[in-house]
Amino acid sequence: MSASDSTARFAALIDRMARPQDVRGLSLSGLHMVMAMRLCALFENAGRDPVPDLAQRYRSVEAACAVHGLVSTIKQVWPEPFMVNRPCCLAMTPDETTLAALVRSAKAADRDAFAQAIAGFVRAGRHDALYEATLHAVALIPAA
């Protein structure tokens, strides 16, 4: 990729991030993941374990553990603190928008789109762990 192509790509990305996206436009899987990140942040601030609440929401301890595992993986591989909005907020942060793109790519089993969504942001050596955790969580959360 040439320098001008790279500059144009990142300029377009920054323009998209400047316009907050609405959670109402997400698939159910994407909405589940964004809301799980928000709830995990609230529970972390309160010093509580989010897995029981997630298990009740998903009616599955396995799904709750997979989602919590994804949250833990994101916290490890993300280059900066993952920013979330309050659960009641309809607008998404740029991090939440990226997460929604990762969920879409994992659900479609499109590894290239997944890598492209975080290229230049998350180190390439960390993509595998993030992809596997996302794929696992997406497979276990309710689809409808």
Q: Is the pLDDT of residue 17 over 70?
A: no
Closest C-alpha to 132, from 52, 58, 77, 81: 77
Of the pLDDT bands very low, low, confident and very high (cuts 50, 70, 90), residue 11 is: confident
35-58 tens-digit pLDDT: 999 999 999 999 999 999 999 999
Q: What are phi and psi of 19, to 5 degrees?
A: -105, 105
64-81 tens-digit pLDDT: 999 999 999 999 999 999
For residues 90 and 123, what is the distance between their CA atoms, to the nearest angstrom?
A: 29
Of the pLDDT bands very low, low, confident and very high (cuts 50, 70, 90), residue 4 is: confident
10 CB-near residues (< 8 Å, 6+ apart) = 120
Name the residue ranges covered by the structural domains of the chain.
3-140
Average pLDDT, the chain: 90
Question: Stretch 9-31: mean pLDDT, rounded?
Answer: 78
Q: What is the largest CA-CA distance in the chain?
A: 49
- Angstrom distances, CA of residue 20 to CA of 23, 24, 44, 132: 10, 12, 25, 27
Q: Is the pLDDT of residue 86 over 70?
A: yes
98-108 tens-digit pLDDT: 999 999 999 99
What is residue 144's predicted lDDT score, i.e. its pLDDT? 52
